[in-house]
Amino acid sequence: MGGIDREEMLRWLLGMFALCQQYDAITGRITENWRKGPVDYKEVLAEGELPSLLEQLRNMPVPEEPQCQQVTKDFESGINARIKAEAVAAENAGGTPDKNLSASSALWLSASKTSLKNMIRDLALLREKYQL
């Protein structure tokens, strides 16, 4: 297990799961705002929640386990792609992500989902490796 004990890994995994829950809550609110109709990008992210979450992730200590570092990179990529997808969607005149995605917005959403799927896969592997 390369110098990382189970307790350290458990603390890190719990921190990551907490960030994932925040991400789900934030993106859920953003999606709900879009469903209400076209909105200004600044209105959707008025509180800068995704950038703030990204900053929390960057400030979180990462164990020196290669998979942990990859999980962090994947999550960061997923958040960044989601931010770009929202920006592109907001630029579309009157379009909403649910009904009228531009190709560019759809591409960014797809990239975000791919990164997040990779992150989840690696989190599961870490849980199994450290028997947590």
Domain extents in the chain: 6-129
Kindly state the average pLDDT of the residues 44-61. 84
DSSP alpha helix (H) spans, the chain: 6-35, 41-44, 49-59, 66-91, 103-129
Tell me which DSSP letter residue 64 carries: S
Contact 89, 101 (CB under 8 A): yes
What is residue 68's three-state secondary structure?
helix
Kindly state the average pLDDT of the residues 65-84. 95
Q: Quick one: tokens of 127?
A: 């849980």
Residue whose C-alpha is closest to residue 123's, from 28, 38, 14: 14
Report whether pLDDT(24) > 50.
Answer: yes
Residue 43: pLDDT band by 50, 70, 90 thresholds?
A: low
Kindly state the average pLDDT of the residues 77-91. 85
Kindly report the number of other CB atoms within 10 A of residue 123's CB atom: 19
Instruction: Give CA–CA dist 26/106, Å, rounded.
Output: 19
pLDDT of residue 85: 85
